[in-house]
Structure 1
Amino acid sequence: MSSERPPTIDPVAAARWHAAAPAVSPWLHEEVGRRMQDRLQWIVQAPDSWCDWDAVRGGLQAHTLVSGRYPKARSVIHETSAAHAKVAREAFSKPWWSPGRWSAANPEFAAPEPASVQMLWANMGLHTAADPQALIAQWHRALAVDGYLMFSCLGPDTLRELHAVYAAMGWPPAGHAFTDMHDWGDMLVQAGFAEPVMDMERITLTFATPERLVQELRELGCNLHPGRHAALRGRHWRAQLYAALSQRLADPDNGGQLALTFEIIYGHAFKPAPRVRVSESSAVSLQDMRAMLRKAGERT
């Protein structure tokens, strides 16, 4: 696995999408968040604090589900887009006179301090990161020792039908290539995580019309491939697209509905205590040093 940035993601386009993405929680993101939340039943130790990284795009309803599972835990919402931060505050902030104003379920809105949370929740955002290893490193820094990461993203089989349509029409790629779950596991280990567990499932969505299909895709993301169409396309091209989708994606066994596949990857990993080799240049953060001393005290 290469340590370089994804070769099929245009960093400028990715930054623009991140800033301009609709400040809504797409249905698919909410559904994936619900399924990932179900996996928390296998976690024995409930977190004292947790961070929802980019909750608006990840799913506001999913955030509520996780908060309900851990009602006593301190929650932090970190929105990396200013426009989304405003929406998150409006969605979750309670007025000062509300009975639940000072409860643990009322989230804080800030970037998590280093080693400050026991769980980092990141739903359906990693696949659009132009530098995913840098993002994973940020998650690692935010977690306390023995804390854990829960994330989901799109996998390589996503939109395989749409890619086939574009190829058949002789058009540039329909989108960037999504990373395989095994490569995500390698990146987690390289970032300092331990015991990564990766899982995958496929979800098929159907649409009555090509217009509805395209509307859904626009809400989910945009084409970040460097080799995408270099200019705006007109009505003639859009009519071609709708015709091609209707012809090639229609499922006769499902009333002519247009079907698209989404591969969903789920990842889980722990942040272990750091391994330190003593030398003249050794450097350990204060938070990690406290964690190591605490571990040493538990063994004596």
Structure 2
Amino acid sequence: MSSAALLPDSSAQGFWGRLPASWMPYVQLARLDRPVGWQLLLAPCLSATCLAAINHAEKPHFGLLVLFAIGSIAMRGAGSTLNDFIDRDIDAKVERTRGRPLASGQVTPRAVLIFLMAQCLIGLCVLLSLNPYSIVLGFVSLLPVAVYPFMKRITSWPQAVLGLAFSWGALIGWSAVSGELAAPAFWLYGSCILWTIGYDTIYAIMDRKYDVEAGVKSTALLFGEHVVAGVALLYFGAVLLAEIALLSAGAGVVGQLGLVAFGAHLARQVRRLHGDEEAQALQLFRSNALAGFLLFGGLLAENVLFYFV
């Protein structure tokens, strides 16, 4: 793979490096070379699925976990593709994003729209395999997904809208098991929203000077010199709401250990965060994939032990 094909925050290597060069613009549009995105989208789905199974004393729903993994990859790709289509003019003005396929002219808008529809079709197939309640809930999720790309032009809180969209899996995961929503699902959803705002604020640190030049907004700009304190407060709220979710769903010691590990990871991020170090911000942002799977791992272990032991 040529160096020109790589974006600054890409982790492409191995498999992606062996693909034909003509495929790379689509790999980049779907962010397949940056898997942290779909991992962050998937984590709330997995945690909610396990938490609902614990609450209803059901066996682990491994089939749902696989479906959610497929759907998260497809819909993360679709959301990123849509974002690149809408932001192609802004991306061309920002150093970190001007190499994106559409902004740099590697693909045409028509080809991007076709690719977007293909990814949405995969996501639709996954959604239609769920129960009717979850199907309706899935279609409702398209609202925050659709408006998110425009929010950076309107509000200093685009990360909050991203949180609404990226955390929706907490509602879908719960409803896919129970066929309805209940208080623990909403507590977990709120937790994931605060977590998303926190980690995306860290991500936005890398773009602050470019966002000012492009005339767009973010919580990283809003918080300014208080960005570390802002992220700390968001992360504290995320852990608190997750604890309420676990307690109200009847999770036990093993699930709580997963939450402790999740909270410890977030605290470590805050201790290491400096508001003016872009490389460090990218590293800390990426580490949130592990944080999300720590919580999921605890809940999955709790689910397995609760049902089989």
Higher helix share: 2
For the criterion TM > 0.5, the same-fold answer is no
Give TM-score, length-normalised by structure 1. 0.31
Which structure has more strand as a fraction of its residues? 1
Between 1 and 2, higher relative CO (CA 8 Å, sep ≥ 6) is seen in: 2
TM-score normalised to structure 2 length: 0.31
Whichever of the two has the greater Rg, that structure is 1
